[in-house]
């Protein structure tokens, strides 16, 4: 891991521990919320064995679109924060701090079940 990676790893840890959104956390910082989110996704992907994007890195995988529903008849009750993702007829409720790796595995399994 490079010194830059270590710096971002620490920043991402502080952000996640804060419970703030990326936009809230980035206020007054020398970086944008979008950079914080991108670095978090990039470091997670690389720690899971992927190659970095960019020159000499990995090509992005094929893009698969899915419908994301923020509120529906079966949404969580009012006052419950979260996001409902519909994949292959299944509804998945995501809340702050969800396990992105687990979600990836579930989405792949649901896609394979088609």
Residue 59 lies in a domain: no
Nearest to 60 by CA among 50, 70, 69, 68: 50
Burial of 30 (0-12, 13-18, 19+ CB in 10 A): exposed
Give the residue numbers spanning the domain of 81.
Answer: 67-112
Nearest to 52 by CA among 64, 34, 35, 39: 39
Instruction: Give the other-Cβ count within 10 Å of 107's Cβ.
Output: 17
Residue 91 lies in a domain: yes
Residue 71 lies in a domain: yes
Residue 55 lies in a domain: no
Are 43 and 71 within one domain? no
Residue 30 lies in a domain: yes
Give the model's pLDDT for residue 31. 92
Question: What is the CB-side half-sphere exposure of residue 93 using CA atoms within 13 A?
Answer: 10
Residue 108 lies in a domain: yes
Residue 41 lies in a domain: yes
CA 55 from chain centre, in angstroms, equals: 23
Give the model's pLDDT for residue 92. 78
Are 42 and 78 within one domain? no
Instruction: Give the global pTM.
Output: 0.44
Give the model's pLDDT for residue 26. 94
Are 72 and 103 within one domain? yes
How many folded domains does the chain comprise?
2
Helix H segments across 19-78? 22-26, 33-47
pLDDT tens over the chain, length 114 residues: 688 888 988 898 899 899 999 999 999 999 999 999 998 888 887 776 655 555 555 455 555 556 655 555 555 555 556 677 777 777 777 777 777 888 887 777 777 655
């Amino acid at each position: 891991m490079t010194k830059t990676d270590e710096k971002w790893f620490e920043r991402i840890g502080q952000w996640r521990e804060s419970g703030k959104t990326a936009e809230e956390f980035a206020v007054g910082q020398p970086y944008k919320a979008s950079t914080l989110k991108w670095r978090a996704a990039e470091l997670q992907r690389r720690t899971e064995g992927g190659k970095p994007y960019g020159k000499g890195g990995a090509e992005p995988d094929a893009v698969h679109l899915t419908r994301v529903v923020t509120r529906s008849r079966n949404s969580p009750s009012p006052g419950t924060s979260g996001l409902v993702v519909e994949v292959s007829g299944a509804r998945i409720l995501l809340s702050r701090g969800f396990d992105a790796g687990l979600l990836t595995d579930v989405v792949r399994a649901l896609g394979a079940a088609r």
